[in-house]
Amino acid sequence: MPTELRKNVSTYLHAEYGTVTGEDPRFISTLQNCKDRAYQDGINVDGSNITDVDTLNQLFSTYLKNKPQKKIKNFRDIPTTDKQIDAIVNENPEDPDYINAIRRARKSIASCRESAFKLIRMDVYHKETG
């Protein structure tokens, strides 16, 4: 199924609200509060303190996209999915401080969300046919 036709629906369990989807206003509000808390002090990027989540996410994505990769000569050396995820999630001393700060903020957001809403299911639907 082409990506543009996919609709991902996450279902969470909350102690007070019961089962909710990622589109529930209470979930969205909690997630926004987690983001606001994680980025409230901002992240120093080349001398500028940035608090805008979209700007920081764009910087992070651009950095990862443009980060030089070592050439793979043997297909067996292609990193596994776990190693690819580790490269995105875990801090790397070779990366700039602001990239590692963004990683820490993202982990903080995930921990904050998970403290209130436990992911119980992720479904993928076709946008047109369901």
Q: Is 55 in a helix, a strand, or coil?
A: helix
The residue whose two tokens read 């700039």 is 96
pLDDT tens for each residue of 23-41: 999 999 999 999 999 999 9
What would the pLDDT profile of 72-128 be if each residue is shown by its tens digit? Answer: 666 566 656 666 666 666 778 888 999 999 999 999 999 999 999 999 999 887 777
Q: Which residues of 25-60 are buried (b: 16+ CB within 10 A; e: fewer)?
A: eebeebbeebbeebbeeebebeeeebeebeebeebb
